[in-house]
Structure 1
Amino acid sequence: MSDDEFEALLRGSGQPDPPEEQPEQRSRREHREGNKSAGALILVIVLVVIAGLAGTGWWAWSQYGERVLAYLGEEEIPDYASDGTMTEVLIVVEQGDIGEDVARKLADQGVTASFESVYQLLLEDTSITFQPGTYRLRAEMSAAAAIEALQDSDNRLLYRITIPEGRSVTQAIETIAENSDIPLANLEAAIDDPSVYGVNPPADNTYLQPLEGYLFPATYEVEPGTSASALIQQMVDEMISRLDNRGVEPDQRHEVLTKAALVQREAKEPEDFFKVAAVIDNRLEDGMPLQFDSTVTYWENTFGTVWTTDAARENADNPYNTYYYTGLPVGPIGLPGDIALDAVLEPAEGSWKYFVTVNLQSGATVFSDTLSEHNAAVALLREWCDDADNAVYCE
């Protein structure tokens, strides 16, 4: 297409300029062609966008891009001249959005003065891309400032949620609700049926929480608007991935997670995790009850204490009670992390059958082979707790 033909297209006609007209005729024609020119401009832009969607955008741009920009340059495009007001505007860039979509959202939500001010810059620099996400921008920004803000990851709105190892699934969803826009009620409903996430633990649903142990404790970056079920699925998938990477077969998952949750709750120092795992195996092999206080406090929901009562230890209604029942509890008592999983799969070598933390501040723990040795270590703990300076740790 020649330059004359291109200019004729923008004017709304495929023919050369007509002969000289009288002033009155020229006035009527110019009015009509003014409207045609605006329509032609929109048509050219749309054609470029459509060409891009069809995979031929680069060809179209190489043929007509400079002339489109030159023509656009003749028009006064509304644009703000500042970095914006104090009014915050959230812009959501969705997967699959192209430059036209982003330019339209910016204009429609009052961030930029016009669609064209942004779109022109995108045509000038085809290397500009946008990552999906929710971004904090401001009202009345210049097109250049808005584009720059959308490319700055610091402006991306994400909820950063950290679930520490050893927390229960109930504690985990409370943390999620407190640190995101996901309502607690939605999270409670989302964890009600574990089979939705491919989890089928043998423990029946009358127990505390059948999804216990199956959410991997970690820091998650959550997009605004994420559903409760989508996040729970992500956390379950992460745990299953960790198990698969360690060679744990599907039919072994529940037992491994049950042991790992015990280790996570009982061990203090990293090296102790592997010793606690050994104690579990040694006691199970000898048919001894595990007698872990953590299985009592889990059912009683009395986290944060190292002491249990005689009545709680004798409670047969607690299916997790390893004082009353021999063997592993019916399921995990918390969310184990990587080190706990490693410890269960590769426990330390040793004949220990007992352990007790003798310094609740430092986490120093004594492992023993015999009951008499263990009782001596328990006496050290009580002596340590009798010191008034340590009372806060012994509640």
Structure 2
Amino acid sequence: MYSRRAVFQLLLLTWTISFSAAELGHVFSSSVHPCDDFHEFVCNKKANNGLSPLFKEVLDIYDDRVKEVLAKENDPIIEEFKKGSEIISEREMFLLDPYLKLLFMKFIYVNDLNPKAWKDELKPLRDEVKSEVVRMTQKSFCDSESECDSDKRIRGTEIRFGFPDESENGAMLTEIVQKIQQRFFDLKKEEVIPPGTEPDELFKAYAKLLRNAYDDVILANDTWRVRFHEKKQFDEYLEINPLATGIGFYFDENYKFIGTMMPASLYKPSTPLSIKLRKMHDTFAFAELFFHANVYFLLVEAPKNHPGRKCYYENLESESRFDGSWGPTLDAERLAADIIAKKNAPRKGRFSDLQWFFIVREATRCEETNERDQKLGTETLKHNLQFRKAFGCQPGQKMVAEKSTMCDVYQ
């Protein structure tokens, strides 16, 4: 039986849900209490046709903007690939490295999709998160009389916005793209491709021509060669899919930890609600990057009897434990919730900011097909005290863990 308080909260949430659904196009479930099945409460797959309109609103609308620009651009190389076969998917088109990454950068700069003002707005948030992670690291790992290596690593960690080198501009990128296009069609005239070539073979032939055209143009210019060919971080930074909304990280030539925010995660949404929710998402993303910087210390440098190291290594395949790779995600979700809760923003009729944060986090899992990852996501909430406070969850409800199975690395 639910307490009177729980019943009241369910009625209140049902009313506020219907109020917010119209704005977002997302239908929350009114048949389950968030403390019993938060995934169903947020995702409501039957009503939302297995999709997540909320996730689309907050994170993926960037895809639509890029596709709009791509359609208007009418890039001649892409059009040539499309002539070869209608079965070549848009996804496959984006796998044509590195030209399409360069084209994507041009889209961003020419159309100002990642405005500097928005990045400047996010920097104080990044610094706030970094300060909290430094404090937690000092408290958990460092001798009070001296700094530890992990603390120094966090202080030296960079999170880069936009692209590694901000000196590019639309005019320069446009010039490079035009030269590659011209070279591609020159090479195509020289290449003899037999009529009736199978689509997959034609795709491979065109991809080879494009790569050669790219190299011919970039290698001929000393500045472009260093920037777009020799720097490993260019490919590391954008990964395979330049539309990715998540984070990336790598160690530079001096073994310095570099965290990167993908372009899509830096796009500024257009509505007040989506802007607020994006900042919540980025609070989590910043925290996750900084905690990743500490994983190396835990798994490589920390003493073998360190509780965090032991927890990450022991029983990784056991259902009662978490995979070590989830450590930074768990810690980031906790910290982001703490930061949002401390700000104690007044509730304005729908959900509180803290409730919205957890809703956004769960919305990212609505289209998750990996059952293990979905289950682990649910388990993180069961162990999060801020989640319990946000929705008034009580012992005995399914979203409250009976006992802790998490690695409590940070005190």
Do they fold alike, i.e. is TM over 0.5? no
- Bigger strand share: 1
The normalised TM-score by structure 1 is: 0.21
TM-score, normalization: structure 2?
0.21
With a CA cutoff of 8 Å and minimum separation of 6, indicate the structure with the bigger relative contact order. 2
Between Structure 1 and Structure 2, the one with more helix by share is 2
